[in-house]
Amino acid sequence: MPSRAPALNLKTINPAVLDVHYAVRGELALKADKYTQILADPKEKNSLPFDHVVTANIGNPQQRGLNQVPLTYWRQVISLLENPPLFEEHLDVIKQIYPEDVIERAKSLHQEIGSVGAYTHSKGVLAIRKRVAKFIEERDGFPADPESIYLTAGASAGVSSTLSIALQEGDGCMIPIPQYPLYTATLAYLNAKPIPYYLSEANDWSMDHETLLKAVEEAKKKNIPVKALVIINPGNPTGACLSHEAMEAVVRLCYEEGIVLMADEVYQTNIYDPSHRPFVSFKKVLKGMPKEIADTVELISFHSISKGVSGECGRRGGYFECVNISDEVMEQVYKMASVTLCPPVSGQVGVDLMVSPPKQGEPSYEKWKQETSLIHENLKERSYLMAEHFNKMPGVSCNPAEGAMYLFPKIQMPQKAIDEAKKRGKEADVMYALDLLDATGICAVAGSGFGQEPGTYHLRVTALCPETAEFVGRFEKFHREFMEKYK
Ligand SMILES: Cc1ncc(COP(=O)(O)O)c(C=O)c1O
């Protein structure tokens, strides 16, 4: 028995922690983990009505069960970097296994970085930041400064560090509804105020100047100073890709209201039909606007190696670029980055491989092209197939996604189901998601975890499962039974 009460308990820890919610890894994910363990036990595996859990709850492509194969080029370069004696002492052997461009890339990265076990510059390795700047310049047609680029441990680390620098307690931060819960969680932790602006489901999950302005006016009425606006494009959980017009409306609002724009662009490579709706960055939109706007609006944009075609979630790599942020604040950004020493070097290398893949004509190019095209095709095919099936289910409607990795179908929830959920002390879509998991092993997150228009119910489903055709069949069977039960 301890001789005294623990110094740490729920009354003594930082109260802001208790306000943090993160639906993607909540009760549902824990239950799914439990089912996975049960199914792994030969004695118990027949105790469940399904033989495997389908993890459609998290955009983690290489996760067991989803099994996206890592890009060969990435893993080859990384393996050499991790073990330089392979090319320093055993070059003849390595040349028989790895293409020449892989060996050259590993050698030059090794020259630039040194040991991957050493701290780097707090912003990340300069040579890598220079290649990130070049990537941004080629993407947007506007200059980028390597000194304004910070490599990070995934986009999450960039988001939380920049928000924590930008926001004072009580400041307002506009967030889209629905949104990725990193934002509400970070704002809760910082004691800042989320100012929701609703994306219009009827209008492909877009928004307009009027909606945004209304949200700002509402905040002003409550004396909340609106400091920042977060936008996710392509959207999570919506899968929508914004039009140029909608993006300009966001930038204009930020200009008029003196708001910092935080653009989460981690899904920029995940675009299903670039000829219809290509990815355009907020940097490009901003820099294409009249000079007074282009040189004024403060923009921080985020990218990641977790998504796109690499799907290297566990490696923790990403970057943010600061545009029009004052020198004095940039000094503070640098100081705060120094406090955590440096981003993981393996993640920095990932960023380098993302922004500078093999070029046409190089030995690794064809394989890289084949592998990345297959990943794009699979995602697109599954997403379209799922949307088609959802739209055939009674009481379900689903906007087809234009990108990212998700669908966000709307469920016309029967009143009896809403009443039953209330009895169980849950939101109706949470009850639906838990019942779906119990009956089928499919793990999908309830829309309430992302925010949704009051009175509407959604589910977020990833488009990453290899056995999509089979799983939508199981899903549909459950759905029909659920609707019948509560009709
Ligand atoms: C919109 C959005 N932003 C940021 C992240 C976090 O990405 P990272 O793994 O780079 O931290 C995610 C992860 O799913 C996301 O969906």
pLDDT of residue 24: 64
Tokens matching residue 392:
């055939």
Give CB contacts under 8 A, 24+ apart, made by 125-133. 125/151, 125/345, 125/348, 125/352, 128/348, 128/349, 128/351, 128/352, 129/319, 131/352, 131/355, 131/356, 132/319, 132/321, 132/351, 132/355
CB of 451 sitting under 6 A from ligand 1? no
List the chain domain ranges: 15-68+376-485, 119-355
CATH topology for 119-355 is Aspartate Aminotransferase; domain 2 (3.40.640)
Distance 132 CA to ligand 1 centre (A): 19
Q: Residue 57 is which amino acid?
A: N
**Which of 152, 186, 236, 351 most suits a substitution to test ligand 1, by most atoms within 8 Å of the C-beta?**
236
Interior CA angle at 125 toward 345 and 156, to 5°? 55
* Nearest alpha carbon, ligand 1 atom 7: 155
pLDDT of residue 454: 92
pLDDT of residue 189: 95
pLDDT of residue 23: 63
pLDDT of residue 47: 85
CATH number of 15-68+376-485: 3.90.1150.10
CB of 180 sitting under 6 A from ligand 1? yes
Rounded distance between C-alpha atoms, residue 323 and residue 299, angstroms? 5
pLDDT of residue 65: 81
Mean pLDDT, consecutive 10-residue stretches, the chain (487 aa), reads 86 90 77 91 85 89 89 97 94 95 97 96 98 98 98 97 96 95 94 95 89 94 97 94 93 97 97 90 98 98 96 97 98 96 97 97 97 94 93 94 94 95 94 95 92 93 86 91 93
pLDDT of residue 67: 87
* Nearest alpha carbon, ligand 1 atom 13: 59
Taking the CA of residue 158 as reference, the ligand 1 atom at the shortest distance is: 11
pLDDT of residue 406: 94
* Contact yes or no for 272/380 (Cβ under 8 A): yes
| Cis ω before 237 (30° cut-off from 0) | yes
